[in-house]
């Protein structure tokens, strides 16, 4: 890869500290091997998520000082609305304090129990909010996404033939919404092509099913279209974004990702009747229509952040930085999902640690090893998160892949930090056969990874 450098310089610094190996051992045991229990100050490089962890720019911080904290119709709301209309082109923009509130508001309004919601791949909260309202989430990801080594450039795509078959089988009346997640987080941060967006939109128009984007990482998706899809190389990311959104009827966004802010989001619709219903509901649970759980200054930071995310020099650096981490891992023999996605590198821990059974969670074993080796925090996206148990037979269905996500916060870490991660992985490669699996001491019924307590399994042949 050619040399590349950040298109910004550092003005404010936040100290981080690599505590000693003995201290790390103590902390991870005190945390019951659950990285959500680790204190932030005990972590050196935090790759737990790219959500809400961005560094804001001087321009955004300056905008924070212009916060108009009037209860209704503050100036920052007007700027927020103008910006979003310019970038995305919808009629109505409803601010919320984070993405999942937009999901809740929309599904509370449009879903009846037994309805289906289609997506390329649902993110956990989108899935959970659908189910909470009695809906049935359906993932129709393209077949290329199932091969972790396939170099297909748009592994986030939806399977259009399957979409059409599914609508014919269930009937359009049972499907109040179809989503596309841009980029497709749960399948590796992989992008969706314009061609696929157009094809899905055409099918949905024929069946009169509303089309929405879950667009937390829209700018990264648009940049991948520019660099990977024929015919878009000379278009600006802003024009590509406008074209993408012209095919949809609405969108929900967690601005904590490509909004380059620490908190915020929105729901966008074109349908005035729907907007009215959502306004009435949001006053009950989130706040008045023009602030939606956010301060005026937060709305200003989003308005400025959305434009900054469209800066192509920033996007080039961002995607190259994530690809750099992926390449440094591949060089060291670490299997990852290829090609690298927009916001994270996903290590295939099942392939990396073949001696650990799925039921002993190889992903978690690697997560703990990375903390022990270099104070790195990341997260398992495998059977700890997705195992489903049959209540009648007691049998388990494990996740298709045992992954570990190294999510890269935006504008926060330098390549030297990412090199630290690659060098720690190199060390782990030299003793990986000695890593052992984990078992539960405590697990909650839902979303168990947040509150679990684990214990290490004894190594085969070791004295207990």
Smaller CB separation from ligand F0G, 24 or 119: 119
Q: How many residues are listed for the chain in this entry?
A: 464
Smaller CB separation from ligand F0G, 104 or 365: 104
Smaller CB separation from ligand F0G, 49 or 319: 49
Other Cβ atoms less than 10 A from the Cβ of 233: the count is 10
Residue with tokens 């750099």: 324
Closest contact distance (angstroms) between CB of 21 and ligand F0G is: 28
In the complex, which residues of this chain contact ligand F0G (CB under 6 A)? Answer: 49, 51, 98-100, 123, 125-126, 181, 185, 214, 216, 254, 256, 265
Compute the radius of gyration of the chain from its Cα atoms: 22
In this structure, are residues 211 and 120 in contact, taking their beta carbons and an 8 Å threshold? no
Other Cβ atoms less than 10 A from the Cβ of 426: the count is 16
Longest CA–CA span in the chain (Å) reads: 68
Closest contact distance (angstroms) between CB of 183 and ligand F0G is: 8
Q: Per the structure block, which two tokens stand in for 455? A: 């214990």
Residue with smallest beta-carbon separation from ligand F0G = 99
3-state secondary structure of 116: strand
In this structure, are residues 370 and 425 in contact, taking their beta carbons and an 8 Å threshold? yes
Smaller CB separation from ligand F0G, 282 or 353: 282
Taking the mean position of all CA atoms in its chain, how far away is CA 290?
26
The DSSP string of 24-42 is: HHHHHHHTTT-GGGS-GGG
Smaller CB separation from ligand F0G, 98 or 201: 98
Closest contact distance (angstroms) between CB of 383 and ligand F0G is: 18
Closest contact distance (angstroms) between CB of 138 and ligand F0G is: 16
Give CA–CA dist 98/67, Å, rounded: 19
3-state secondary structure of 101: helix
Closest contact distance (angstroms) between CB of 178 and ligand F0G is: 15
Which active-site residues does the annotation give?
71, 123-124, 214, 216, 257, 449
Other Cβ atoms less than 10 A from the Cβ of 133: the count is 18
């Amino acid at each position: 890869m050619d040399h590349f450098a950040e298109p910004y310089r550092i003005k404010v610094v936040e100290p981080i500290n690599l505590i000693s190996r003995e201290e790390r051992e103590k902390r991870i045991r005190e945390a019951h091997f659950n990285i959500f229990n680790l204190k932030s100050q005990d972590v050196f490089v935090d790759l737990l998520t790219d959500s809400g962890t961005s560094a804001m720019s001087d321009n955004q911080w300056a905008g924070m000082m212009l916060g108009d904290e009037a209860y209704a119709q503050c100036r920052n709301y007007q700027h927020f609305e103008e910006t979003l209309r310019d970038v995305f082109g919808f009629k109505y923009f409803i601010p919320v304090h984070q993405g999942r509130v937009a999901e809740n508001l929309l599904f509370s309004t449009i879903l009846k129990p037994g309805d289906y919601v289609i997506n390329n791949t649902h993110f956990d909260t989108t899935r959970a909010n659908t189910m909470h309202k009695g809906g049935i989430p359906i993932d129709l990801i393209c077949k290329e996404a199932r091969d972790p080594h396939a170099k297909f450039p748009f592994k986030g795509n939806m399977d259009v033939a399957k979409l059409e078959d599914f609508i014919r089988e269930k009937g359009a009346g049972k499907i109040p919404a179809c989503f596309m997640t841009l980029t497709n987080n749960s399948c590796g941060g992989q992008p969706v092509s314009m061609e696929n967006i157009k094809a899905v939109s055409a099918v949905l128009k024929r069946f009169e099913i509303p089309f929405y984007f879950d667009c937390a990482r829209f700018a990264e998706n648009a940049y991948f279209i520019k660099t990977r899809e024929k015919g878009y190389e000379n278009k600006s990311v802003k024009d590509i974004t406008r074209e993408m959104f012209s095919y949809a009827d609405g969108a929900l966004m967690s601005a904590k990702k490509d909004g380059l802010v620490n908190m915020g989001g929105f729901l966008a619709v074109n349908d005035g009747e729907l907007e009215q219903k959502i306004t009435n509901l949001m006053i009950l649970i989130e706040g008045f229509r023009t602030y939606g759980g956010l301060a005026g200054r937060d709305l200003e930071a989003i308005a400025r952040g959305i434009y900054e995310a469209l800066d192509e020099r920033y996007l080039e650096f961002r995607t190259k930085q994530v690809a750099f981490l992926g390449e440094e891992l591949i060089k060291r023999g670490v299997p990852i999902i290829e090609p690298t996605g927009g916001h994270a590198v996903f290590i295939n821990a099942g392939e990396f640690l073949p001696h650990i059974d799925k039921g002993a969670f190889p992903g978690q074993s690697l997560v703990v090893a990375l903390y022990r080796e270099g104070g790195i925090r990341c997260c398992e996206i495998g059977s700890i998160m997705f195992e489903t148990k049959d209540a009648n037979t007691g049998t388990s269905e494990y996740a298709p892949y045992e992954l570990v996500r190294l999510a890269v916060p935006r504008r926060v870490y330098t390549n030297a930090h990412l090199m630290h991660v690659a060098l720690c992985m190199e060390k782990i490669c030299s003793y990986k056969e000695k890593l052992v699996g984990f078992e539960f001491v405590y697990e909650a019924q839902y979303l168990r990874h947040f509150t679990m307590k684990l214990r290490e399994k004894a190594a085969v042949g070791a004295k207990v």
